[in-house]
Amino acid sequence: MLRINVRYVYLIVFIAVTIPMIFQPNLPTVTSPSVEMLYKEIESLPRGSRVILSLDYDPSTEPELQPMAEAILRHCFRRGIRVFGMTMNLQGQNLGTKVFSKVAKAFHIPDDGTMYVYAGFRVGPVLLQMGEDIIETFQTDFVQRDLRSLPMMQGVKNLRDFELCISLSGTSIGYSWINWPGTRYGKKIALGVTGVLVTNYIPFLQSGQLVGLLPGIKGAAEYEHLIGYEKGRGKQAMGSQSAAHLLIILLIIVGNVIYFMGRREERRQGQ
Amino acid sequence: MFRRQIPLALCFIMGVTMMIHFFIKHPFVQSDMLNEASNFATVIGLFAMFLGIYSLTRVHWMKIRHRRSDWFFSYLLFAALLNMAILGNLIGTGADTPFQWFYDAFMVPLQSTTFSLLSFYMASASYRAFRAKNFEATVLLIAAIIVMFGRVDVGPWLLPDTSVGNIPVPGVNELSNWLLFVPNNAASRGIFLGIGLGSIATAFKMILGIERTYLG
C-alpha cells in the first residue's frame, strides 16, 4: 500500500489545490502579531513619509510575495506615504514595475515621481552605498528618468531620509537588510518572506531588529484583511493553501497508520 | 613567487578596510574609503558576470559539439540568451517592450511552475517517508502537523481558542505560534550564534592568511 504509484498522490494534490481556486471558500482570517506589527508601524507614519519597498524576489516566488507587495503598496498609498521601490534581485526587476503600475492605477496616482519611484536593480553592494548616497547609487529610475528630477526624491540624500525599509524575498537577502540598513544605519526593517524561511527570521523579530514579519502567503492574506482588501491574491490563495496543508496532514496520518499496521503484521508473522 | 603573496595581501587589505569602518567614524573612512571599496565590489561582480557567461557558453558549446545527452536544449539556451541580450540592449527593458513580453510569457510561468512542483513532491514524501519511528520523530511529526494546521485559515476555524470551565484551552493558531516563537526560536538562536562565531573565526583566519584554501 505504501508503494502506491506517486502519480495518484500528484493527482490528489492537483484536485485539492484546484477546487478551492474555483469555488473560493471564504474562511475567516486570524491575524498574527508579526503582521499586525508592520501594519501598526505603517499606520503610525505621518503623511508624506518615505518608505523603501525592496521587491527582492524573482518569478519563482512571485505568487507568494507579490500579493504582499500589492497589499503594502495599497496601505502606503491610502495613507499618503511615498514609496521608493527597488530590487536586489536582477531577475525580479521587471516584476516590480508591474506591481507599482497596477496599484498606482487603482489609486489614480500618476507615474510622475511624486508618490512613488521604482528604481529597479543595481549591481554591487547597493545596501552599503545607499547608506551614503541613494541618488548616486541608482542615478536613474527604471525608465531612465534622472532621480534628481523626481519630486519625491527632492531633499533625499541617503537611508536616513526614509522612515522604514521593507524587503520581500525568498532568499537570505533579509539578513543583509538587517545587517546594513538595520544595524549599520539604524533603520527600522520589516520583512516579508516565503513560508519556508519564516523560522529563520523569527529570532530577529523577538530581538527587536525587525518591526514586522509577513510569513508567506498567509502573511499576505492577513495584511489584506487588516487593510480591508478582501479581494487580494493572498486571500484567494488561502483556500488552496488550506486544502494542500490538510491533504499533507492526512497523507502523513494515513502513511503512518499503514506503516504501523504493516509492522504489527510483520511481528505477528515472526511469532 | 607572488602568486600567493599578492592575493593574500589583497585579502588582508580589503578585509581590514571593510572591517574598520565599523570602528572609525572619521568622514574619510565613512565616505571616500567605503565608496571606493564598494566600487571594487561592483567591478569584481561585473567580471564575475562575464566569467559566468563565458563558462555557460563553453559548457553548452562542448555539449553540442560532442552530441551529449539533451544537446538540443543547449541551442535553446543560446537562442534565449542572445534573444534577451539583444532585445534588452537594443530596445530596452521597460514596460511594453518585447523584453518585458518574453519575460512575462516565458520566465514568470516557467520559474513559478518549477517552484510549485515542490508541493507535489512534499505531498508524496509526507506519505512515504514521514514516520513516527521513535520518540524524537514523533515529537517532530506532531509539531509539524500543528504548525501546518495553524498556518492556514482552516486551522483556527476548525480548532479555535476555547475554554473548559474557567480554564482557557489554546487553539491550533495559538499552539502554532508558541511552537514557532518559543522552542523553534531557542534552537534558531543557538544555531545563529554558532554560525556567527564560526563566521568571525573563519573571516579572521582568511584575513590573516591562515586559511588559504580559497587560493586553490
Contact A222, A32 (CB under 8 A): yes
B182 and B113 fall within a common domain: no
- The helix (H) or strand (E) run that includes residue B169 is strand B167-169
Q: Quickly count: other Cβ atoms within 10 Å of residue A235's Cβ.
A: 24
Which pLDDT belongs to residue A19?
Answer: 94
| Residues A186 and A266 both lie in one domain | no
Answer whether residue B26 is part of any domain.
yes
What is the average pLDDT across B159-187? 90
What DSSP assignment string belongs to B120-133?
A: HHHHHHHHHT----
B143 with B201, same domain: the answer is yes
Q: How far apart are CA B51 and CA A180, in angstroms?
A: 28
Apex B116 CA angle, B110 and B117, nearest 5: 95
Is the same domain home to A62 and A162?
A: yes
Res A1: pLDDT: 60
Residue B162's Cβ-side half-sphere holds a number of Cα atoms within 13 Å equal to: 8
Q: Are residues A100 and A210 in the same domain?
A: yes
Distance CA A72, CA B120 (A): 30
Q: Tell if the CB–CB gap between B126 and A255 is shorter than 8 Å.
A: yes
pLDDT tens digits, one per residue of B18-42: 888 888 888 888 778 877 887 888 8
Same domain, A172 and A241: no
Residues B102 and B54 placed together within one structural domain of the fold: no
pLDDT, position B1:
64
Contact predicate A227/A77, CB 8 Å:
no
Give the pLDDT of residue A36. Answer: 96
Say whether both B94 and B80 belong to one domain: yes
**Residue A32 CB-density burial (10 A; 0-12 exposed, 13-18 middle, 19+ buried):** buried
**Which residues have a Cβ under 8 Å from the Cβ of B106 and sit 6 or more positions away?**
B80
Predicted pLDDT of residue B62: 96
Task: Dump pLDDT digits (tens) for A226-252.
Answer: 999 988 999 999 999 999 999 999 999
> Is residue B120 in some structural domain?
yes
Co-location of A1 and A43 in the same domain: no
| Orientation of helix A198-206 relative to helix A33-43, angle to 10° | 60
Mean pLDDT is lowest, of A2-6, A143-147, B149-153, B205-209, for A2-6
Q: Is A268 found in the same domain as A155?
A: no
Return the higher-pLDDT residue of B66 and A3: B66
Chain A positions in Cβ-Cβ contact with residue B52 (cut-off 8 Å): none
> A243 and A227 in one domain?
no
CB atoms within 10 A of CB B22: 10
First to last CA, chain A: 23
Contact B148 A248 (CB under 8 A): yes
Which residue on chain B is closest to A125 by alpha carbon? B38
Q: Which three cell numbers stand for residue A220?
A: 499576505
Closest CA to B59 of B81, B44, B42: B81
Domain holding A68, by residue range, is 31-231
Q: Do B35 and A143 touch (CB under 8 A)?
A: no
State which residues of chain A have pLDDT below 70. 1-3
Measured from the Cβ of residue A186, the count of other Cβ atoms closer than 10 Å reads 10
pTM for the structure as a whole: 0.89
Asked if A13 lies within 8 A of B119 by C-beta distance, the reply is yes
Q: Provide the pLDDT confidence category of residue B208 given band limits of 50, 70 and 90.
A: very high
Residues in chain B: 216
| CB–CB contact B116 A238 (8 Å) | no
* Domain shared by A25 and A71, yes or no: no
Q: Which residues of B touch A251 (CB under 8 A)?
A: 123, 126-127
Residue B138, chain A, CB below 8 Å: the answer is no
Closest CA to A72 of A244, A191, A241, A245: A191
Tell me the C-alpha distance between A171 and A166, whole Å. 14
| Pair B155, B124 in one domain | no
Q: Are residues A40 and A23 in the same domain?
A: no
Residues recorded for chain A: 271
Give the residue from chain B lying closest to A205, CA to CA.
B181
Same domain, B168 and B157: yes
Q: What are the start-end ranges of the E strands in chain A?
A: 50-56, 82-87, 116-121, 164-169, 188-193, 213-215
Q: Do B93 and A215 touch (CB under 8 A)?
A: no
B31 contacts in chain A (CB < 8 Å): 132
B89 and B120 both lie in a single domain: yes
What pLDDT band is residue B43 in, cutting at 50, 70 and 90? confident
A268 and A191 within one domain: no
Distance from the Cα of A148 to chain B's closest Cα (Å) equals 20
Q: Are the C-beta atoms of residues B8 and B209 closer than 8 Å to each other? A: yes
Nearest partner of A126 among A80, A93, A94, judged by Cα: A93
Question: If phi over 0 gives left and psi between -120 and 50 gives alpha, with beta otherwise, what is residue B165?
Answer: left
Q: Which residue has the higher pLDDT, B96 or A62?
A: A62
The count of domains in chain B is: 3
Contact B42 A125 (CB under 8 A): yes
The answer to whether B156 contacts chain A (CB < 8 Å) is yes
Please check whether residue B1 lies inside any domain of the structure. Answer: no
Task: Confirm or reject contact between B119 and chain A (CB < 8 A).
Answer: yes
Nearest CA in chain B to A195: B151
Higher pLDDT, B105 or B38: B105
Q: Which residue of B has its CA nearest to A63?
A: B112
Q: Which residue of B has its CA nearest to A98?
A: B95
Q: Is A127 on the interface with B (CB under 8 A)?
A: no
Show residues of chain B in contact with A32, CB under 8 Å.
Answer: 177
User: What is the tally of structural domains in chain A?
Assistant: 2
Between chains, do A62 and B108 touch, taking CB under 8 Å as contact?
A: yes
Under 8 Å CB pairs connecting chains A and B tally to 157
A250 shares a domain with A180: no
| Residue B35 dihedral angles phi and psi, to the nearest 5° | -65, -40
Instruction: List CB contacts (< 8 A) between A249 and chain B.
Output: 145, 148-149
Query: Do A30 and B93 make contact, defined as CB atoms within 8 angstroms?
Result: no
Of A189, A232, A178, which is closest to residue A68 (Cα–Cα)? A232
Whether B45 contacts chain A with CB within 8 A: yes
State whether B98 and B42 are in the same domain. Answer: no
Residues spanned by the domain of B47: 7-68
Taking the Cβ of residue B127 and every Cβ of chain A, the question of whether any pair is shorter than 8 Å is answered with: yes
How far is the C-alpha of A39 from the C-alpha of A214, rounded, in Å?
Answer: 10
Q: Are B148 and B195 members of one domain?
A: yes
State whether residue B82 sits within 8 Å of chain A by CB.
Answer: no
- B149 neighbourhood in chain A, CB within 8 Å: 245-246, 249
Contacts of B35 (CB under 8 A, 6+ apart): A129, A132
Q: Are residues A246 and A112 in the same domain?
A: no
Contact B108 A95 (CB under 8 A): yes
| Nearest-Cα residue of chain B relative to residue A4 | B128
Q: Shortest CB distance from B128 goes to which of A2, A198, A238?
A: A2
Distance (Å) from the alpha carbon of A63 to chain B's nearest alpha carbon: 7
Residues 57-96 of A with CB under 8 A from B: 58-63, 91, 93-95
Q: Which residue of A has its CA nearest to B171?
A: A30
